[in-house]
Structure 1
Amino acid sequence: MASLPRLLLIALLSVTRAALAAETPEQLALQGTAAAIAASPDDGSVLYNGACSAALAGRKAQALEWLARAVALDGVDAKRMAADPDLAALHGDPGWRPLLQVAQEAQARRERMWSSPALATPYRETLPEDERVAGLSKLWAEVKFNFVNFDRVPELDWDALYAQYLPRVRAARDTVAYYRELQSFASRLQDGHTGAFMPGEVFERVHARPGLTTLYLEGRVIVRAVFDERLRSLGIVPGWEIVTVEGQPVAEYAAAKVMPYFSWSTPQDKLSRAYERFLLDGPVDAAVKVGFKDARGALRELELPRMGVQARSAALPNAAPFEWKLLPGNIAYVVLRGFGDDRPAEAFEASFEQLSKADALILDIRDHGGGNTSVGLRILSTLTDKPFATTAWRTREYRPAYRAWGRGERSFRGEPKQVPPSGRFHYAKPVVMLTSPRTYSAGEDFAVVFDAMKRGTLIGEPTGGSTGQPLMISLPGGGSARICTKRDTYPDGREYVGVGVIPQVKVTPRLSDFRAGRDTVLDAAVRLLREKR
């Protein structure tokens, strides 16, 4: 009899082990999902993810129930649902096809509501007046209900501005002139993630540029690089100053012909876009007359041929999203120019064994135009052994009944997420990050999270001050627009949209250094790292 409790214990342990063995990762995930659905029963995304978890765990009936609830909330992308491998186990169930059809019909209704083909007309050289007015009206309405940064333009009367632009779009002589009016209209919002875009059919007539790049240094427009042999044959070299365009002083030309048609978020963003991006835009088949002053002060005026948009992009130097080299003093210098895909993070990790041998690391994001913020988080996760916070954010939460009751509009706030350290990679030595007004969007998110981590020092100039989630809309004539719907902040709520990320060590590039082949900001970073040793 004394052995009975022991046998019972063994039996109980065996049953427990069997039960634990049955708890697959999918089933464990399902338990967490069920709790999330109980907490948020009207959240379509939570229900959809729950359906995926249930399908993977073999709980088809549960999966279909949660999926049906998500569809009923109009919270499902039918194309994603049809192609989602997590839901493949449901395809043979009799309930799958009718449910997919309901989702497709709901999506079609949403698309008619928000993106009706009636206003997505094809390109024509001149659009009918009614289409032009409809396009302006669509942009006005979408901005009114979706734009997140109206508080940054408190004096703007959006309805009054709409009324001012109605006669202007009616008078537009052709589609290019019409889109110029839309761009001017959107630019009044002073937001770098909000603006109108020309139809692809006229891009070469509007956005072709000569084969050179420029920098705005000490209030002057300076040639940065020359990559068209036709321009090299004219004698143009880096360091020359642009003093006139089409016979006008460069500042006057930019103010009249460039600045009214693009969107910007900060003074530094406005100057960078005007003088470093759009200054010499125009037709591909027309040269632009540019007056130069060389390093000795001699003046000359030259006709610069423009390159097509695709040809210029292919010829643009220093365009790789990731590059690195070892500087004297065993300092790793990494250049990140964008997070358009996972390649920068993959290349960083692939180079990590060599990078990790360096005594210090410089991350240069001065020409980082943006992309997917998650790519930057992947890189930052290699610089710490602790979890770290992402940006916080907010978006408008418009409730029509609240407006009818005289109540103000609320914001939905997204709390910072915690990102775990990489685990595979950990660089624990000193790090600095270089910034400029050309640092933009996801590049700024990267700088903000790095700053909030207190992982190192930001050096250089304030960033462009624009990030967020754009809503893309189609417009008559084949063009489009985007509207910023999301306002990001530091994890603690500090603003950088409309301000820029401010470096702890401010360093302004000097023209004399550039002409001498020196990099003012990089040299300052190297000195700082050497002083820390």
Structure 2
Amino acid sequence: MAKSHVAALVLALAAAGAMAQQQPAMQWETAALAGSYKENISEDEKIAGLSKLWSEVKYNFVDTATLEKLDWDKLYLEALPRVRATRSTEDYYRVLQELVAKLKDGHTGVYPPQELSDRMLGIPLLKTRPIDGRVIVTEVLDPGLRAKGIMPGLEVTAVDGMEVKAYAARELAPYVSASTPQDEELRTFGYLFLRGPVGTAPRVAFRDAAGKQFEQQLPRVSLEVRKAAMANSPSFEFSMLPGDVAYVSLNSFNDNSAAEAWLAAFDEIAKSSALVIDVRRNGGGNSDVGYKILSTLDDKAFLTSRWATRDYKPTWRAWNKEQPMYAEAPEAVQPDPQRQYKKPVLVLTSAGTYSAAEDFVVAFDSMQRGTLVGEATGGSTGQPLFIKLPGGGSARICTKQDTYPDGRAFVGVGVQPQHIVKQTVEGVRAGRDEVLEAALATLQPK
């Protein structure tokens, strides 16, 4: 072959390779499967949405052992007639929520269209929490409810004439996506408790410390009204406690404000004799925010979580070859060269410590920099993949598996504190923070 022909062939092959590498990414989300809201979307849209959800979970959900155990294809077939039988978009989304809840993953779930928010997500102006096997009022957001005798410390015993746990099992639990028992319990009897249509008012039975029982109707309000009634909780709170103990509550990692506030206050924090970091109410956000804070607690580099995701290769499937996982080693985060806190550190945790906040706790625990005090974390982190669904709703699917740097599991289990302390009903009624009290007691000279 002439040299000119060889050169042309080489160039052609190189160009073909470049084109193969530069092919545009597939358009994963299209308008065809994300139609606008209607009171009752068509049966075709419902089945298409179910099929899309089933397929995206099948190929992207990171916990393949759960898919196999559940027989995800069988669940899809069982859901088809239920989807066809729905007579409204609201009912359709309840079927999807119930299906996905079977995966038992807090970073996987179905979210109805915004138009259904008032019908599905109304909630009274109070907060509850499961404590000692009971449902306890922990905060009352409406002065009108307080005037009716509803106070923190009351036990909820029944809803609309049904024993409280039976009510939750029927009305809430089937739709709750949660990774651990403590996660499910907090969602069912805390975040989502008494959820229902805005404007309705469930009849709730209470019992006080003396055993006296009474009932009140609690009007459900929209999420916007509830949010406006709640005290604004900043991402960072700092105070000095007796004994020159610095108390820092990191309430959110949704943006960089917690890390920025930490760095701004660092010189004052550094004057303390010990430090208590509270992440009990931190539902997560961006893990890097917490890592910036941890970098000021040790002059050595620390490791973040180890992670993996599925690496699906169609040709390997054709060869009956086992599909691999793509894994990355933990990242080493370097210490802050300007700021270092050298004194004792305690971190407070609860089932409400979630997602990026758990990544923070895992890294802190691995650093062996101090003690974890409180209750096991929620046991759920990872990277969700968001997809659109017909009627204007959406879903998210956990695509990332995280572990301790040494491979120990915490997803599906929760990070376990070295010093387990639980809030009691008596503590709530007395206005005491028993977890913080226990943490401070460990700092006292023995």
TM-score category of the 2 structures, normalised to the smaller one: over 0.9
Does 2:346 correspond to 1:432?
Answer: yes
Q: Specify the code of the residue in structure 2 equivalent to 1:73.
A: Q
Alignment of 1:386-425 (within 5 A): 386-425=300-339
Residue type at the aligned position of 1:341: D
Cα displacement (A) at 1:321: 1.4
Q: Select the residue among 138, 146, 150 that pairs with 2:60.
A: 146
1:274 maps onto 2:222 in alignment: no
Between the aligned partners of 1:362 and 1:73, the Cα distance in structure 2 is: 51
What residue in structure 2 maps to residue 371 of structure 1?
A: 285
> Where does 1:53-452 land on structure 2 (aligned, <5 Å)?
73=21, 106-107=24-25, 110-111=26-27, 114-152=28-66, 154-317=68-231, 319-452=233-366
**Aligned CA distance change for structure 1 residues 115 and 406 (closer, same or farther; 3 Å):** same
* CA distance in structure 1 between the aligned counterparts of 2:153 and 2:232, rounded to whole angstroms: 17
TM-score normalized by the length of structure 2: 0.94
1:338 CA displacement: 1.2
Q: CA RMSD in A?
A: 1.6
1:229 Cα deviation (Å)? 2.2
State the alpha-carbon separation in 1 of the partners of residues 394 and 248 from structure 2: 35
Q: Which SS does the other structure have where 2:443 is aligned?
A: helix
Distance in 1, Cα, partners of 2:317 & 2:92: 34
Per the alignment, residue 81 of structure 1 pairs with none
- Could you tell me how far apart the structure 2 residues matched to 1:330 and 1:473 are? 49
8 Å Cα contact 2:58-2:67 kept in structure 1:
no
Report the 3-state secondary structure (helix = DSSP H, G, I; strand = E; otherwise coil) of the residue aligned with 1:383. coil
Give structure 2 stretches of 5+ with no counterpart: 1-15
Q: Identify the range of structure 1 (346-355 vs 229-238) with the bigger mean alpha-carbon deviation.
A: 229-238
Q: Counterpart of 2:185 in 1: which secondary structure?
A: helix
Structure 1 length-normalised TM: 0.79
1:524 matches 2:438 = yes
Paired amino acid for 2:389: L
SS in 1 for 2:45: helix
Post-superposition CA distance 1:313-335 (Å, at most 9, x none):
12223622111211111111111
**Paired amino acid for 1:456:** G
The answer as to whether partners of 2:348 and 2:373 remain within 8 angstroms in 1 is: yes
1:531/1:412 Cα in 2 relative to 1: closer, same or farther (>3 Å)? farther
**Partners of 1:69 and 1:202 in 2: how far apart?**
49
Q: Distance in 1 between matches of 2:308 and 2:139?
A: 40
Letter in 2 for 1:299: Q
Check the 8 A contact 2:361/2:415 in 1, yes or no.
Answer: yes
3-state SS of paired residue (1:155) = helix
Taking the aligned partners of 1:228 and 1:150, their CA distance within structure 2 comes to 45
Deviation (angstroms), 1:152: 4.3
Give the deviation of 1:153 after TM superposition: 5.8
1:11 is matched with which residue? none
**Which whole-Å CA distance do the structure 2 matches of 1:71 and 1:321 have between them?**
47
How far, CA to CA, are the matches of 1:152 and 1:288 in structure 2? 36
What is the DSSP-based 3-state SS (H/G/I as helix, E as strand, rest coil) of the residue aligned with 1:382?
coil
Does structure 2 retain, via aligned residues, the 8 Å contact 1:341–1:375? yes
In 2, the alpha carbon distance for the partners of 1:70 and 1:507 equals 60
State the distance in 1 between where 2:231 and 2:204 align: 22
Give the corresponding residue for 2:10: none
Q: Distance in 2 between matches of 1:116 and 1:197?
A: 18
CA distance in 2, matches of 1:442, 1:230: 36
- Give the corresponding residue for 2:394: 480
Residue pair 1:464, 1:500 contacting (<8 A) in 2 also: yes
- Between the aligned partners of 2:99 and 2:66, the Cα distance in structure 1 is 16
Query: What secondary structure, in the 3-state scheme, does the structure 1 residue paired with 2:39 have?
Result: coil
2:301 is aligned with what amino acid? P
Deviation at residue 255 of structure 1 after TM alignment: 0.6
Quote how far apart the aligned CAs of 1:513 are.
1.7
Which has the larger Rg?
1
What is the deviation of 1:69?
A: 9.0
1:152–1:498 contact (8 Å) kept in structure 2: no
Shift of 1:387: 0.9
* Higher RCO (C-alpha 8 Å, min separation 6): 2
Secondary structure (helix, strand or coil) at the match of 1:350 reads helix
Q: Secondary structure at the match of 1:450?
A: helix
Instruction: Report if aligned partners of 1:150, 1:189 keep a CA contact under 8 Å in 2.
Output: no
Q: What is the rounded CA distance, in whole Å, between the counterparts of 1:71 and 1:272 in structure 2?
A: 52
Q: Report the more deviating stretch, 234-243 or 467-476.
A: 234-243
- 2:168 and 2:231 map into 1 onto residues whose CA distance is 25
Over 3 Å counting, the alpha-carbon distance change for 1:432 and 1:183 in structure 2 is same
What corresponds to 1:19 in structure 2?
Answer: none
Could you tell me whether the CA contact under 8 Å between 2:247 and 2:277 is conserved in 1?
A: yes
Q: How many residues align?
A: 431
Q: Is the 8 A contact 2:305 2:405 kept in 1?
A: yes
The Cα of 1:71 is off from its aligned counterpart by: 8.3
- Deviation, structure 1 residue 150: 2.6
The alpha-carbon deviation at position 308 of structure 1 amounts to 1.4
Deviation digits for residues 457-506 of structure 1, max 9, x if unmatched? 01111111000000000000000000000001101111101010011111
Deviation, structure 1 residue 231: 1.4
How far residue 70 of structure 1 moved from its aligned partner, in angstroms, is 8.8
Instruction: Give CA deviations for 1:225-254 in whole Å, capped at 9, x if unaligned.
Output: 111122122221100111111211110011
Letter in 1 for 2:150: I
> Aligned equivalents of 1:300 and 1:290: distance in 2?
8
Q: Secondary structure at the match of 2:296?
A: helix
Q: Is the 8 A contact 2:135 2:156 kept in 1?
A: yes
Does the 8 Å CA contact 2:125/2:226 hold for their aligned counterparts? Answer: yes
When residues 279 and 185 of structure 1 are mapped into structure 2, their CA distance, relative to the original with a 3 A threshold, is same
Aligned 8 A contact 2:128 2:193 in 1: no
Query: In structure 2, what is the Cα distance between the partners aligned to 1:424 and 1:282?
Result: 51
Retained in 2: the 8 A contact 1:246–1:290?
A: yes
